[in-house]
Structure 1
């Protein structure tokens, strides 16, 4: 994508707030604070806010906006919105392809979402990891399945992300579910360090 188009995209989604300004949250009393996350679900619908700090052409960048996440077996649909509610991008991920659509432009297709977002956004949106992280799961550096809990809230993933499940809320059947996730990686598909903060709206 030409640099002027990338810049236009970045401006549509970005504003001057730094990562720390993504959201102010407070701890939610948990029904069972000693428990780990509930069983993994293939079907979920989530809304939330996302902020990222990254470097582009050696310059620090910050973005901040809202998202929706619709997950079904074999398919994930993500929509990204500006702070004013304008649709910035729509992403569809299946086992075969990842597609990104922006208003007035031809859809972009790549074999995986990390490559697609790195090329189109200038930073890597780790959808492949988020399908686990949003529910409190990950694969750790040793290749083992990690299930988070309020008492066991940090992990380094097998692809180099350092995760911390900072805040929690009550999920289905009272099991704790992540409310805020901080993710950091020193190198990404575009080569620069990336820090992401995700705040998830209350889960139905």
Structure 2
């Protein structure tokens, strides 16, 4: 694993070590049918990512923190170790994906799934995450999926099974939970089975609490 970004001796954690988050809609009340906020092309998010993947037919796991910045034409993802060291910076445009590691020359590929699998040992589905992190996806039927606490799971067109496990509320009145606050994803679980083109992988994404209302 020395050629990969994440040495397992430093960064691997059991899934049970991840914090369990309680949905604000799970205290006996029926799940809210209110959908997430309108999609934003420009957004910045931070959080934690736990990945379980196959290496030599054995399960491996790793945990990283991340900073996510996207615009209409570009996505930038920075991965950090649990102690805050920068592990990699990934820049994705419609033309190519570039991954830069400390002390190494940048590597590029036409798509980030291939590049991350080569460099990290597991696929990071950036094109899908542009939607998923905001509660959107394209379902297996080709239709646009919009998540809500009452409609929290979908299988995507490219075979990922998504489940929105917990939520946070963001909006003008979110602090006192009054009507007007919008549900936003807090924890997202994503799984993909092995295929001829890709190995099996599962992701657990926990977004940091939002501190302000979404921009219009």
Q: Give yes or no for TM over 0.5.
A: yes
Return the match for 1:179 from 166, 182, 186: 186
User: Cα gap change, 1:172/1:131 in structure 2, threshold over 3 Å: closer, same or farther?
Assistant: farther
SS at match of 1:128: helix
Return the match for 1:23 from 8, 19, 31: 19
Q: Which runs of 5+ in 1 are unaligned?
A: none
For residue 33 of structure 1, report the CA deviation from its aligned partner.
Answer: 3.0
For residue 23 of structure 1, report the CA deviation from its aligned partner.
Answer: 2.5
SS at match of 2:7: helix
Cα-to-partner distance string for 1:3-29 (whole Å, 9 max, x where unaligned): 6422xx221795342123233323236
Greater relative contact order structure (CA < 8 Å, 6+ sep)? 1
Name whichever structure is richer in helix by fraction: 1
Distance 2:86 2:55 in 1: 23
For residue 65 of structure 1, report the CA deviation from its aligned partner.
Answer: 1.5
Answer with 1 or 2: which has the greater Rg: 2
Q: What TM-score do you get using the length of structure 2 for normalisation? A: 0.86
Distance 2:196 2:86 in 1: 24
State the match for 1:72 in structure 2. 71
SS at match of 1:10: coil
Between 48-57 and 187-196, the greater mean CA deviation after superposition: 187-196
Distance 1:90 1:49 in 2: 15
Distance 2:185 2:196 in 1: 26
Checking the alignment, whether the CA contact within 8 Å between 1:48 and 1:200 is kept in structure 2 is yes
Checking the alignment, whether the CA contact within 8 Å between 1:91 and 1:99 is kept in structure 2 is yes
Aligned residues: 199
Q: How does 1:16-165 map to 2 (within 5 A)?
A: 16-28=12-24, 33-165=32-164
SS at match of 2:115: helix
